[in-house]
Amino acid sequence: MLLRTAASRPVLAMRLTTAAAVNKSSIRTIMGKSMITRGLSTTPVGRSGNPPMSFPCIDRLETRQRDLLSGPEPTYEKVVTGYKVYNHKAPYALDYGGMLKSFDLAYETWGTLNADRSNAILIHTGLSGSSHAHSHPENLKPGWWEKFIGSGKAIDTDKFFVICTNVLGGCYGSTGPGSTDPETENRYATTFPLLSVNDMVRAQFLLLDSLNIDKLYASVGASMGGMQALCAAALHSERVGRTISISACARSHPYSIALRFAQRQALMSDPNFNRGFYYDGVLPHVGMKLARSIATVTYRSGPEWELRFGRRRRAPDQPPMLCADFLIETYLDHQSESFCLNYDANSLLYVSKAMDMFDISHSVTEKLRVQRANTENMLYTNGNNASGVSNGTVCMNVNEGPKSATGVSNVESNEQIVNDLVAGVKNAMQPTLVLGVQSDILFPVTQQKEIADILRKAGNKNVTYYELDAMY
């Protein structure tokens, strides 16, 4: 288990202690005005008949920041039991030009693999999912799909051998930005190479190779897991017997991209983010909290918010306040706070960016294949030496701007887009179930219909599309 070192903590402690002292009692006079100083802000008093607004939420954040200086350690760094690890010892070329000298993939299994190894189901996770989809003797904690996996359940462990991995780039046992770079013996942080969903899926099939599983009975996933399931069906069609895609997409659309961009911007704006090199200091707690608040809004529907919270306030007899006031606000505050130490901030950046870039179109898939092939050729030429291999960049370069000018559009026609998508899934002829949720705003049903439509146009005669009308 890797722990944050204490080397930089005295300076940080001094800064935070000083800020706390200033926050409590500093009063100064500037240009003849009495000022009360709260952290980095100054609030004029003395000339107004109104008292300054109280900000208990900011007070709590400041206290939390001080507490994080000495702990607790993130919970994702404490996951040391309950999963197996596949170790890939050879260099692994990635779609965007980067490479990993080796990687680990955490996985868990349930049920028994039959004699001809034909009953395996691979469960793909969403963005922040661990491999712990269901409880088992090595980890009795309920999994994130506890109600759907097990004896006699939808994914019946009496019949099937069920596998779930933590994706490459994650932080629950698989190699990700928080892992140690074998070349430097330091954390990768943002020297970690950019990933694609395709990279994640190819790593999973290397795991299947190690288990001597040639073909899956089914590939199943929701949200980003649905993207992986579709990717597996299209790019490894001969190894997938059936596909179930739930609330996913064939290509990420602008609305979901914009929401994930807002999350990353909120996270990277936290001063403690430190361009991703925060492991030896204070974690970017505030940025993670804001990012999760944005995400949580997209995970629930408007009707559900109405039913659960309506316009009820935490303290209806008290004056309104700028901190969490409505019950919906207190819910977001609690959910986002509890997430902060449960997932690595850099993993959030990398995995969410992979979601943004997902596009099963033939042209995109082919471009990624060529880029990866170039990296593999370079590695072969250099004798598996990574010198000259680029890991890409997380952000736009300082002097780089958008290529399109205002008023000029290079957007493909809808017919071109559809034809490209159809070509991308031309090999995905497995029986496929596509599920959409009518109230889903992040992956609306139009995107589920698009998946079903392109599969049918590609010639798949066994596509079932179904919409759930529940508000959850």
Q: How far is CA 70 from CA 10, 64, 281, in A?
A: 10, 11, 9
Give the three-class secondary structure for 147: coil
* pLDDT tier for residue 338 given thresholds of 50, 70 and 90: confident
| Residues 312 and 224 sit within 8 Å (Cβ to Cβ) | no
Who has greater pLDDT, 211 or 29?
A: 211
Tally of CB atoms within 10 A around 406: 5
Burial, 279: exposed, middle or buried (Cβ in 10 Å; 0-12, 13-18, 19+)?
buried
Task: Dump pLDDT digits (tens) for 148-161.
Answer: 999 999 999 999 99
Who has greater pLDDT, 69 or 358?
A: 358
| Residues 386 and 184 sit within 8 Å (Cβ to Cβ) | no
The predicted pLDDT at position 307 comes to 87
Residue type, 466: Y
The predicted pLDDT at position 392 comes to 54
CA dist., res. 208 & res. 190, Å (int): 29
* pLDDT tier for residue 78 given thresholds of 50, 70 and 90: low
| Residues 33 and 42 sit within 8 Å (Cβ to Cβ) | no
